[in-house]
Structure formats: C-alpha cells, structure tokens
Structure 1
C-alpha cells in the first residue's frame, strides 16, 4: 500500500501529526510519500529522519510576530495562489503523478489544490481530508461579518461542498471519545498523540520543570523575555522550544522528544493548538494557553474550559510586566492545584490512551487504503 501525505507547514501541529502517523504507518509496512509547503517544514520533518518534498512555496497563512492571524494578508495570499496560472494549476499538474502512484492522498489540512481535486471525479476517490473540527469551522466562517452575508454564505457553501465530496474526512478533536465514529464519509476520531512509555522522564529538574512550545510565528523577543520572567518568578525552570525564538539563550529551535518532556513535566505552556491540548489531556498535565487572534485556537481554548481541562489562559497585549505577572499567577495556581502532585508523572494510563488513539488512526487509514 502506498499513501501520499501532504501536511501544510503554516504551523507545526500538521507536521507533527504527519511525522507521527508516517512513521507508524511505515512500521506497518505502508510506503508513505511526505509532501509539505515550505523549506522550513521540510527541514522540520528532516529532524525526525523523514524526507519530504516541497509542493509549492506560494501558499501559506499569514501571521504577525505574536501568532495573530493576518486575515487580509492571508486572503490575498490564498487568492493569488488559486488564481495565478503558475501556482495552483501547476501544483495540480504535479499532483497528478502523486495520485497515479498512491492508493490514498491525505490532505492535512485544507490545501487548496487538494480541496479542488478532492471534489472532482477520478481524483476524489483517493482524497482523504484530515482536519481539526475547530479549523473547519474557522475556514467555513472566514468571511462572516467581513463580507455581505450572501457572499459569506456562498463561500462557506463552496468550501463545504469541496470537503464533503472527498473519499473520506478524518475530523479530529482533542476531546473526541477514544474510538472512531463514522457518519457517511466523515470519521470523527481523537487527535493522535505520541505514546510516552511509563517512567520516561526527560526533564532534568523533574517536577519543577515547565515544557514550553511556541509555534515559529512567535518571534517577538519581548514576549519571550516576559514569559521567562514569569516562570522564573514562580521558582520553576523551563525547557523552551520555538523556531522563532531559536536565537535566544536557553531556547531550542526543535526538540524531537518534546512530547516526552511535556508528559513528564509539571506544567505545559503553549498556544491552544489541538496537539498541545491533546498532550495535556492524555497525560493529565496542567497547561497555560497563550491565546492569540487565531480563530480555531480561540475555539479550542473555549472547549478546554467546557471539558474541565486544568488550564489558565494568558494573552499577550504588548505589556511585558502584565504578561509576566499573568504567567507567574497561572504557574502558581496550576502547580499548587489540589489535584496536582509532583509524583503525578506520565503513567501507563497516558501511554495506553495515546497508543489506543494512534492505533485507531492506523486502522482507519489502512482500511481506507485497502478498499
């Protein structure tokens, strides 16, 4: 069986999921062809020992230095990609060869070329869209309140039609039940998490360490300095990872063992992406959510509250002193939580849960590829 996996490189959650699933599929004897959308994404996957080709460098979501989504710039970039004759059309010509050579083509998440190909006869029977439930909602409501209602509804309908026409849709969420639920060609499935074996503790400082991960769009040094200050004030040490902060002392651009560190830490700090929330849920870690103007992550943060996940939300508004104080208060509150104990490390329950989630994904993908 051969599977092509296209993971967009706008953030690292898509790439992390692609490397996790690709290596697990390869262990089951499946040939996986990895494709991404930037040189940075290609290098990120190479850090896990995986080779990926770059489809196109023209398509990307635009962010500022605090990971706030720039809607107008993103709209312009996507429109330029779709309508420029040497961009999406050229990518579709390249992807025809990918379709011929593979049994399935996975689209993680919503690359326009595969949205288009996934609704057309012939190609659509091989396309499987992978997306977070909150991301689809954000995509379909992108123009709500920004354009006349009739145009916003027309756009939403076109996107929905493209998504629904594909062979299958793997819709994941950190809060979905640990099983696959199929309704038509939609399969609801819990977000995959890397299994961390019991007793795996990579944090040198043990229970007093904080696992920090910031997407590469975070590159404001003032935010990083305030974050460090708040953690230090709480008498905690931090393992900090973020490509946008890699030039700062004490920060790494990438850590292939970050999930293990997070699972064995006292506390996680990250933006409310689906992957980070899933790690916090599976390994029962408290988490501080650095909230920005990114629609799907705002929905994720709201879900975290509804589900009772142990968390605090902090927002960077350019005030270093206020942000540092918010980080300190959140660290203090979560690390003295009555439900939290220093010995509460990644145990067999978290490992079993992560393994079960991963097996569900592999079973579904292998089944889809074999039909």
Structure 2
C-alpha cells in the first residue's frame, strides 16, 4: 500500500522549507504520495523553485521579525493569540486540514504550527500527527513567556505545549550535529538535520564565500556592509537573500546554493540549523550573523561546544563596525579553510545518509500510524 503523507512546512524561515523539499523529493522517489502545504505566498514561490507545488493553508499564523531578522516577541504573541482565538482562523484551518488529510497515513508538522499542535490532542487525528522541530526551537518555544508572564503562567504555557507535542503519534527532534538515529523512547526520535547533496564543483560557479540571508533580512545598510567586509578580506562572494532580490550582486533564490556553499572557502549565514548542518557535513568554516532569535543563540553556543569552525558577527547599527567584523572574521576563516582538507565525496555520502534516515523513519511512521 502506498504511504500517503501530508507535509505542512511553515514559512517563517526557509530552513523548514528546505528540509521539506529535500524530504518530499526523497519520499516520492521511495514511492510515497506526498502533498505539501505552507503558510505564505512567498513560501509557496520558494518551494516552487525546487519543483514543489505547495498550496497555502492560510497566512494568518506567522512569527514576526524586523528587517534585521530580530524576532518581534510582542507582535508574534499577538499574532498567535489572534490566530488561536479568532474562530475564522485556526478553526477554519483545522477544518481544511481534516478534509485534506482524511485519507492520509501521516501529517507532518514542521514546525509547531498551532493547528496541528491542537489536532495532535484529538482522538483519531492524534495517531496521524508527527511533530518535526529543531532541538533549540523547542527550547525557545517552551521558554517563550519566561520573564514576560508571571512564573506560574509561563510554566502553565510550557506544560500545555509540551502536552500537545507528547500527545501526538510521534516527534522527530533534529540538530545539525546529531550523528545517528536515536530514540528517547518508542515515539520520540533524534535525527541529524538533513542536508542537500552537493553537485560536483563548477569553475564558473566557484566563489570564495557563499552568503545566504533569509527573507527577514531587508536592511540595505547591513547588506552593503557585509558585502564590503568580504571585499575587504579579498573574497569573491555568491550572495542569496529574498529580502535583497533585485539588489546589485544579490539574487533572491538559488536552488543550487547548498552546492555553492559546499565548495566555497567559507559560508556566511545566520545560525539556523540548515546552514550549520551544511557547514558540519561539508566541513566548511562559517561566519554566523547573530540576531535576536533565542534558538539561533542556542545554536551558536552548541557550535562553540562542538568545535565547529566559526566566527560570530553582530549588527549593532554601525555599518563601519559591522564591515570590520565581517572582514576580520572572513579573513581569519578563509586562512583556516586553506589548511582544512574537505572531501566532497565524504560530504555527499554523509548528506545522503541523513536524507535516507529521515525517509526511512517517515515511511515507518506511516505504517505505525495505520496500526494504531
């Protein structure tokens, strides 16, 4: 019997969508029927560039950011409250999901969409729902109201969300540096963040630095200072960012960016799981553009503990200072990169193993859900 999967990938960050397109292509190749949904028109266009058609469930739920990728907590909490408590929003989406997924074996929630969190508690539906999330993102979500609400209310929120997650069929927690498929119990699994297989190096596409900034980066002065810093370090750069689409030297989306990053001397990106996983698998140094996102701060701390070759730069509103930070970090890491031997074949083998582990687990969960 053909496994039937509904994959809901939130469009708050492109890491969710990159993971979705990697897994959807792998699952379809393995014989599964997979339908994809997302949460914004921009997310739909992004997935379309990878050959994935993903209708928008609704655009009512979204994490809010400023133009430098700093999370706007009050605006986010207000948006989520409106989504959950206004009857024309979450309840409408739940009704649509019920219709779309009535014959599905598995509903994948990547990551923490409130409609599927709620459905994960309901009889019948809870045995079809898989929650997928980064380890640092779950920690940040459960601590969302620490220091904002009275302690008892913050803890109550964390318990409710934890209960919603645990009530579902299963959970997959991922991290850029997990090495193997581990299981906390029979329903909770740990997998390494999946990574795209890099294509062979191409001389015409080779650059010293592969830069990716997600769509929340829109500040022109930050982009200019980053570019100037790389120039000061004597590095050519391939720069991708939807927030800078149309800007000289930038392109909005590049489906082959991971391959460019795998062969570059260094990577420049915010410290999301996807970028860190590419740096880990292909052994590339990475300049981390740190902003006010709790889970990304946790990722930086983990990268440091694991000895991943990186440097952190922080925008403080001073373009000259940021330019110097980028130049110093890029110059130092480029020098280290020249002394590190990285095998592209070994990187591709590791990337394939990660995708295979996810594919096998998701197909196995389809069968598990059907038996319950």
Alignment of 1:202-241 (within 5 A): 202=202, 204=204, 206=206, 209-241=208-240
Q: What residue in structure 2 maps to residue 315 of structure 1? A: 314
Answer whether contact 2:181 2:189 (CA < 8 A) is retained. no
Q: What residue in structure 1 maps to residue 71 of structure 2? A: 69
Q: What residue in structure 1 maps to residue 92 of structure 2? A: 90
Within 2, Cα distance between the matches of 1:324 and 1:101?
A: 54
Q: How far is the alpha carbon of 1:370 from its aligned partner? A: 1.7
Within 2, Cα distance between the matches of 1:41 and 1:159?
A: 25
Alignment of 1:1-371 (within 5 A): 1-197=3-199, 200-202=200-202, 204=204, 206=206, 209-337=208-336, 340-341=337-338, 344-371=341-368
Unaligned runs of 5+ in 2: none
Answer whether contact 1:17 1:192 (CA < 8 A) is retained. yes
Q: How far is the alpha carbon of 1:343 from its aligned partner? A: 8.1
Q: Deviations over 1:261-303 (max 9, x none)?
A: 0000000000000000000000000000000000100100110
Calculate the aligned-residue CA RMSD, in Å.
Answer: 1.2
| Residues 1:8 and 1:203: Cα distance change in structure 2 (over 3 Å) | farther
Q: How far is the alpha carbon of 1:30 from its aligned partner? A: 0.6
Within 1, Cα distance between the matches of 2:84 and 2:106?
A: 23
Answer whether contact 1:174 1:277 (CA < 8 A) is retained. yes
Within 1, Cα distance between the matches of 2:55 and 2:203?
A: 34
Within 2, Cα distance between the matches of 1:98 and 1:137?
A: 31
Within 2, Cα distance between the matches of 1:138 and 1:124?
A: 24
Answer whether contact 1:99 1:126 (CA < 8 A) is retained. no
Q: How far is the alpha carbon of 1:179 from its aligned partner? A: 2.7
Answer whether contact 2:205 2:260 (CA < 8 A) is retained. no
Within 2, Cα distance between the matches of 1:119 and 1:80?
A: 21
| Residues 1:180 and 1:203: Cα distance change in structure 2 (over 3 Å) | farther
Within 1, Cα distance between the matches of 2:343 and 2:175?
A: 21
Within 2, Cα distance between the matches of 1:104 and 1:97?
A: 14
Within 2, Cα distance between the matches of 1:364 and 1:316?
A: 40
SS in 2 for 1:183: coil
SS in 1 for 2:204: coil
Within 2, Cα distance between the matches of 1:329 and 1:156?
A: 41
| Residues 1:151 and 1:115: Cα distance change in structure 2 (over 3 Å) | same
Q: How far is the alpha carbon of 1:236 from its aligned partner? A: 0.4
SS in 1 for 2:102: helix
Q: How far is the alpha carbon of 1:50 from its aligned partner? A: 1.0
Within 1, Cα distance between the matches of 2:197 and 2:131?
A: 24
Q: How far is the alpha carbon of 1:349 from its aligned partner? A: 1.1
Q: How far is the alpha carbon of 1:342 from its aligned partner? A: 7.1
Q: Deviations over 1:162-202 (max 9, x none)?
A: 001110001000111233434231101111111225xx114
TM-score (norm 1): 0.96
Alignment coverage as a number of residue pairs: 366
SS in 1 for 2:55: strand
Within 2, Cα distance between the matches of 1:41 and 1:216?
A: 10
Q: How far is the alpha carbon of 1:346 from its aligned partner? A: 4.9
Answer whether contact 2:270 2:290 (CA < 8 A) is retained. yes
Q: Deviations over 1:190-219 (max 9, x none)?
A: 11111225xx1146374x510000000000
Answer whether contact 1:290 1:315 (CA < 8 A) is retained. yes
Within 1, Cα distance between the matches of 2:343 and 2:27?
A: 25
Answer whether contact 1:212 1:238 (CA < 8 A) is retained. yes
Q: Deviations over 1:307-363 (max 9, x none)?
A: 0000000000110000000000001111112xx327845521111111111111011
TM-score (norm 2): 0.96
Answer whether contact 1:265 1:345 (CA < 8 A) is retained. no
